[in-house]
Amino acid sequence: MLLSRTCFGTDKEYCKMLVDAGYDAVDINDTSHKPEIFLQSTDQQFAFVKNAVDNILSVGLKIGQCHAPHSISLWCSTPDEVEQRIVAIENCVKTVSKLNIPYTVIHPFVFAFNKQDEDPEKLWQFNVDYIRRICKCATNTTICLENMPGEGGVIRTGDDMAKMLSDVGDDNLMVCLDTGHLISQNCKATDFFAAVGDRVKTLHIHDSIPGQDLHLLAGEGRFDWEDFKNALRQYNYHGNINSESNFVYKSPKDLQLEGQILERKILEKFLIK
């Protein structure tokens, strides 16, 4: 089990700070909010992800996961924009497959954060088809599907996740459990693991409160962390402990290292020895 920290802007300086803070690995997140990169030439896409990979490896850290470009809300997107985003996600997965990155995290497409689609069955089938397309591109990385926050989240609970895994029907499709998204839905980790425990391969650890997606430090919100610890043990989770809080981004620059150390100490409680 490695302690892994999400990273927007994987430059060498940031990676060195993670070494000093005692982390083992980095989760590449530069890719999640730069979909335009994955509509450029294959060489440009490769150079972008390779640069992040090289920076991480050069300081002796490992790579935990890579986040594919975010999906977009359907209520405010044209069919062309949606198709273009699926292509960007496919291209990201193809690029990641060339770089020995073990896991790539994807989101389902939602209608809107806080509103369900008027035709939920049609949206569900759209997601089944989209996820099958993405899985086909993953030749050398494992796709992990993430649970979502909000009323319109499509995959909101462990039962939703179990149904999606079964409908997609690809044995290689795995799960990224996002703890902040789970408390946003007022759900508990043990219930989520009871539904899909053997398929959870990566985590996004952060805290929030029901109805919100705040990316707080574990313990600052309402998530039941004792229940989470029990679930990791009970279901024999041995993947990485991946942090996705925004805590350090809110600290003053000269205290960022101390912030990273504090967060690492909190994450260490979840390591199974």
Minimum Å gap between C-beta 107 and Zn ion is 8
67 contributes a contact to Zn ion by CB under 5 A = no
Cβ atoms of 249 and 243 closer than 8 Å: no
204 contributes a contact to Zn ion by CB under 5 A = yes
178 contributes a contact to Zn ion by CB under 5 A = yes
Phi, psi angle pair for 118, to nearest 5°: -65, -25
> Using CB under 5 A, which of the segments 7-15, 171-179, 209-217, 235-243 binds Zn ion?
171-179
The gap between the terminal CA atoms of the chain, to the nearest Å, is 9
213 contributes a contact to Zn ion by CB under 5 A = no
Residue 106 vs residues 65, 68, 119, 241: alpha-carbon distances, Å: 11, 6, 22, 18
State which residue has the least CB distance to Zn ion: 204
Task: Rank residues 34 and 43 by Cβ distance to Zn ion and give the closer one.
Answer: 34
Task: Rank residues 40 and 246 by Cβ distance to Zn ion and give the closer one.
Answer: 246
> Using CB under 5 A, which of the segments 26-34, 130-138, 156-164, 198-206 binds Zn ion?
198-206
Kindly report the number of other CB atoms within 10 A of residue 232's CB atom.
23
Minimum Å gap between C-beta 122 and Zn ion is 25
C-alpha 53/C-alpha 43 separation (Å) is: 15
CA torsion, points 130, 197, 144, 248, in degrees to nearest 10?
A: 130
Task: Rank residues 40 and 73 by Cβ distance to Zn ion and give the closer one.
Answer: 73
Beta strands 3-7 and 200-204: pairing type? Answer: unpaired
> Using CB under 5 A, which of the segments 13-21, 185-193, 199-207, 235-243 binds Zn ion?
199-207
Minimum Å gap between C-beta 158 and Zn ion is 16
C-alpha 110/C-alpha 226 separation (Å) is: 30
Q: Which residues bind Zn ion (CB under 5 A)?
A: 178, 204
